């Protein structure tokens, strides 16, 4: 978590239903071993400390099923398939493709950036969208910002 927060100003993650995934007997051991919820909690409070962004992508966004090259959706993809070929010819590793799509969706949704574009900011411009944080994390973030000024 330290590495990620220190290296990146914005961190995009899928808002996974960990509790629901733990009910699946085939997945529960792997999910528990990874401690996904603990990792997200640590990244969350460290982002507040260092004034970084933790942005959650909707859990229903089809990150694994979209081709990160052409955008075609593969509805036949199930959990057993780890590698697949898109109709455009791209061969995808499921997890690497999902990571690319989460990054693209995060940049598009929260920063208005399409794919590899680099945004240009004028001096003093507010670069964080007003609605990018919700719930308790937003209150913690606002408190941290207000107490430091």
Instruction: Give pLDDT tens digits for 64-119.
Output: 999 999 999 999 988 789 999 999 999 999 989 999 999 989 888 877 665 544 44
Burial group, residue 63, by CB count within 10 angstroms (0-12, 13-18, 19+): buried
Provide the pairing of β-strand 91-93 with 53-57.
Answer: unpaired
pTM above 0.75, yes or no: no
């Amino acid at each position: 978590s330290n590495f990620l927060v220190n290296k990146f100003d914005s961190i995009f993650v899928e808002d996974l239903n960990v509790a629901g995934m733990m009910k699946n007997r085939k997945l529960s051991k792997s999910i528990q071993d990874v401690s996904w919820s603990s990792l997200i909690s640590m990244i969350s409070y460290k982002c507040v400390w260092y004034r970084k962004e933790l942005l959650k992508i909707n859990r229903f966004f089809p990150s694994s099923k979209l081709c990160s090259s052409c955008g075609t959706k593969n509805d036949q993809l199930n959990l057993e398939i780890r590698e697949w070929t898109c109709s455009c010819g791209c061969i995808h590793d499921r997890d690497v493709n999902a990571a690319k799509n989460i990054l693209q969706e995060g940049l598009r949704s929260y920063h208005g950036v399409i794919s590899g574009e680099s945004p240009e900011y004028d001096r003093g411009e507010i670069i964080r969208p007003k609605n990018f944080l919700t719930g308790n994390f937003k209150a913690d973030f606002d408190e941290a910002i207000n107490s430091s000024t």
